[in-house]
Amino acid sequence: MAQINFGGTVENVVTREEFPLEKALDTLKNETIAVIGYGVQGPGQSLNMRENGFNVIVGQRKGKTYDKAVADGWVPGETLFEIEEALEKGTIICFLLSDAAQIELWPTVKAVLKPGKSLYFSHGFGVTYKEKTGIVPPPDVDVFLVAPKGSGTSLRRLFVEGKGLNSSFAVYQDASGNARNKCIAMGIGVGSGYLFETDFYKEVTSDLTGERGTLMGAIQGIFAAQYEVLRANGHSPSEAFNETVEELTQSLMPLVAENGMDWMYANCSTTAQRGALDWWKPFRDATKPVFEQLYNSVKTQEQAEISITRNSQPDYREKLEVELAELRESEMWQAGAAVRNLRPERN
């Protein structure tokens, strides 16, 4: 493994140089990889693996998503099955239902987990919170995870563009003595660039924190706060949206992604730099207590409990849709829709 220095701490990272696609294909040459669930990660991972040359089948219950799988080229009776049939045929079971749905299907999955099969997750959730989920794998199967650090949609898009998304990986149980190799081979197969080693607990704890924090929850909160202040002071919706979101996503974040925050700052005016350098610490200090509260809520499993309870309700999809519509229909994101339409490349 490559030893990489991350700001002073040396960590092990698996690279494609040491574990090329050919080695991954050879490692899994006798396996039938059954991707169970075709929501967000299911399509990204299964299509990438199929195009990388692995032996992949999909298990999905009938409905809209099953039809999407057919449209993506999965053939009913050959590579696309009802979940139970795919579970029987698969030797590596990729459990890619939503975390709450995994609880309901667990007894069915557990029943097919005979010695020699492997159980694969893309999150540490089910196993870490086993007291809540009941997901306790039998001791004679390999259990591991590859968690792409991004949306399954991005995993697929980047793969199609010939790029990759990095992933975390972890082995929970090594019954065969070869679980680590199988896990890394799966990571390469689904289209990961580099693979960072972790464990199930750390993966789920950091992931739940990140998505509730800066990646999704905090960012919307900060956008909303600034937008509301600008609007309350007489700025137009387009001006408030441009100064809050559009410039960030279109101009400044690509510079951060390319070469870090100081690089982005250096490409702005000295006036902007002076202000940003003066204000980032007050923002850090104001939000840090909320991040501490969030981390604690993840650690005490309160967030897991909320996720399971809310997402296990029969009408959870409809309720989520109502909340998403509230965001979409807010003035800020309506202004956003209009601003997006005015991006020069859209004309």
Ligand X SMILES: NC(=O)c1ccc[n+]([C@@H]2O[C@H](COP(=O)([O-])OP(=O)(O)OC[C@H]3O[C@@H](n4cnc5c(N)ncnc54)[C@H](O)[C@@H]3O)[C@@H](O)[C@H]2O)c1
Ligand Y SMILES: CC(C)(O)[C@@H](O)C(=O)O
Beta pairing, strands 56-59 & 33-36: parallel
Q: Which does 124 bind (CB under 5 to 8 A by kind): ligand Y, ligand X, Mg ion, none?
A: none
CB of 249 to ligand X, least distance (A): 19
Select the residue interacting with ligand X from 31, 99, 142, 203 (CB under 6 A): 99
**Segment interacting with ligand X (CB under 6 A) among 25-33, 120-128, 192-200, 252-260:** 120-128
Q: Look up residue 133 and give its two tokens.
A: 């989920």
Q: Which does 97 bind (CB under 5 to 8 A by kind): ligand Y, Mg ion, ligand X, none?
A: ligand X
**Residue facing ligand X at closest CB distance:** 39
Q: 267 — phi, psi (to 5°)?
A: -95, 10
Q: Look up residue 102 and give its two tokens.
A: 């995994």
Tell me which residue of 151, 147, 143 sits closest to 120, measured CA to CA. Answer: 143
Residue 165: CA count within 13 A, CB half-sphere: 22
Select the residue interacting with ligand Y from 70, 88, 116, 151 (CB under 6 A): 151
Q: Is the dihedral of CA 174, 175, 181, 186 positive or negative?
A: negative
Binding mask 200-229 for ligand Y (x = CB under 6 A): -------x---x---x--------------
The amino acid sitting at 37 is: G
CB of 68 to ligand X, least distance (A): 9
User: Binding site annotation covers 269?
Assistant: yes
Residue 197: CA count within 13 A, CB half-sphere: 16
Q: 4 — phi, psi (to 5°)?
A: -120, 135
Asked if 207 touches Mg ion (CB under 5 A), the answer is yes
Which residue ranges make up the site for ligand X (CB under 6 A)?
A: 37-42, 60-61, 65, 96-99, 101, 104-105, 122-123, 125, 147-148, 151-152
Which residue ranges make up the site for ligand Y (CB under 6 A)?
A: 150-151, 207, 211, 215
Which amino acids are annotated catalytic? Answer: 123
